[in-house]
Structure 1
């Protein structure tokens, strides 16, 4: 991998290392971060993982969860750790705007920076670069980094399960086009190294609260809009829905995939109003590039078939803008 020898040379003596990832961490963000955390402590480094804000309950099973510093809850402590670090690992994001309130301290840290990411158009200029947009998940890149750094014998069960979770979720349980033969070989290695795939899958997919299940039923029955001509389906989730169903962080995760699963649908979206913010998530099948759509119209980006964005408009105005774009952009684009 690019820069692996330079990183090994730099880490030949114990260093103070901070690992961070994007806001609203998902399984790939947290899994790759904790997988790397467990790997680096084996070599005597002082390692801290800092996340910009909270993450869903269904990720709290990950080994090392109790060590994670939440920036929103411990800003002063986190700032001191970042300013005192020798090396800052930026995982699963490639622009400091993705870490919200951490942006200022992270972008001005005196520490060297290592970038490990698979998103398009990286903005960060790192000292050690492990960016590859052909990778299916950042957890895959961390597996490759470890394997090239010291060999797979450095991967214990905790690391294997963290990385397996990241790869499993970012490939849509191995359904996305990014699922290559290399991905299957990688997860086979992780299983051989101790990953309990039944446990990981059960914790992530089969630990729903009663409130979330009731919300899913409500969303499918009352919130789903379908345009069969444009082959678009989308959800509108209001602030009140979070209150009515007592939703927690991550309870809307995966909802957009239900819209995409409808026969004949090629583009799906979810528009969410929460805490005075409007967030959007897009999915597509085939040639329609939702990352370009998100970048052009909703201050976002991501992958060709999975992207996100935001809106400064009200929820109703955002919905109307999206509906207008269905006519202007999506309907007029040939979707295979």
Structure 2
């Protein structure tokens, strides 16, 4: 953030505001962690923010402090609409285009509120009065820490804030193993531990609360794994029938795509998940090295994200989608070596 942006934010927060904080649709640990951390911080400054999630999020995130601050737009529709319509200041976290919010998109587009964007994805839109965008950051949670620091508010970082920020950084860095994890990231994490974040407890709450059904579903996913050695690529498919058979709950497939990258010689991993309710195949892309899955997703699957982690979608069957996907790989053969 530059000095002008910092001054603008301080001016906006110097008076009472009707504040709403929005994550992207299907929010993950970074989205929920950053929104709750920011909500806790703003409360500590005398504001009264609310978080509105476009839809539900995984059970393994619902233990986070003050999870009850979050409205689920699908279940609390009228209250959420009223809050957005009356908002004077809206923070959008972990996304940079209204289309990432699903049903909230028209409400946000129609809002007369001031917007503040905090995000680390590529190609940000221009809707915000203040845009804090940095694609080199490990996570939006690390950016929220920097945001708080820029506002001279680190003394207000409580155990609850530290817990939320640590959770988001941990999940978005693959437990600190991705290239985006810098020495600064580790210094931030150390400060959060000093502020009360219990790293072992957080890890257990996120990663060690599996149901038997989820582990059985993982077994199905790994059984469906297809390896394309010629292209250093592996992909997984999961049909709606397979999800239903194993009592799928939101978040159950989190991290499945990464198993492909644990194979020796694999540089590109993908998972295709059927969602009959939305009529789409949801796709997650992961890569190692310089191969940009952000560009791949944007060019071929109506998606985008980061260089090494991205998402997309298809509106044809899994069989047609994977056939199309495989047909594309010859064009990227040299990049995938």
- State which drifts further: 204-213 or 270-279: 270-279
Out of 301, 307, 312, which is 2:310 matched to? 307
TM-score (ref. length: structure 1): 0.97
Alignment partner, residue 67 of structure 1: 69
- 1:46-91 per-residue CA deviation (whole Å, 9 max, x = no partner) reads 2110000000000001111112100011111111101101100000
Alignment partner, residue 209 of structure 1: 211
Alignment partner, residue 224 of structure 1: 225
| SS of residue paired to 2:231 | coil
Alignment of 1:1-336 (within 5 A): 1-2=1-2, 3-221=5-223, 223-274=224-275, 275=277, 276-327=279-330, 329-331=331-333, 333-335=334-336
- 1:13-71 per-residue CA deviation (whole Å, 9 max, x = no partner) reads 11110000100000000000000000001122121100000000000011111121000
Distance 1:151 1:246 in 2: 44
- 1:172-194 per-residue CA deviation (whole Å, 9 max, x = no partner) reads 11110101100000100100111
Distance 1:311 1:69 in 2: 29
Instruction: Mark the runs of 5 or more structure 2 residues left unpaired by the alignment.
Output: none
Distance 1:123 1:234 in 2: 31
Distance 1:56 1:260 in 2: 23
Give 1:325 deviation, angstroms. 1.1
Distance 1:46 1:76 in 2: 19
Distance 1:4 1:207 in 2: 40
Distance 2:203 2:212 in 1: 19
Distance 1:161 1:4 in 2: 25
Distance 2:262 2:126 in 1: 35
TM-score (ref. length: structure 2): 0.97
| SS of residue paired to 1:103 | helix
- State which drifts further: 3-12 or 181-190: 3-12
Distance 2:193 2:312 in 1: 35
| SS of residue paired to 1:279 | strand
Equivalent pairs, count: 333
Instruction: Mark the runs of 5 or more structure 1 residues left unpaired by the alignment.
Output: none
- 1:209-237 per-residue CA deviation (whole Å, 9 max, x = no partner) reads 1100111112212x100011111000011
| SS of residue paired to 2:137 | coil
Give 1:114 deviation, angstroms. 0.3
Runs of 4+ aligned residues of structure 1 deviating over 4 Å after TM superposition are none
Give 1:133 deviation, angstroms. 1.2
- Contact 1:89 / 1:114 at 8 angstroms: preserved in 2? yes
- Contact 1:14 / 1:43 at 8 angstroms: preserved in 2? no
Give 1:151 deviation, angstroms. 3.1
- Contact 1:286 / 1:335 at 8 angstroms: preserved in 2? no
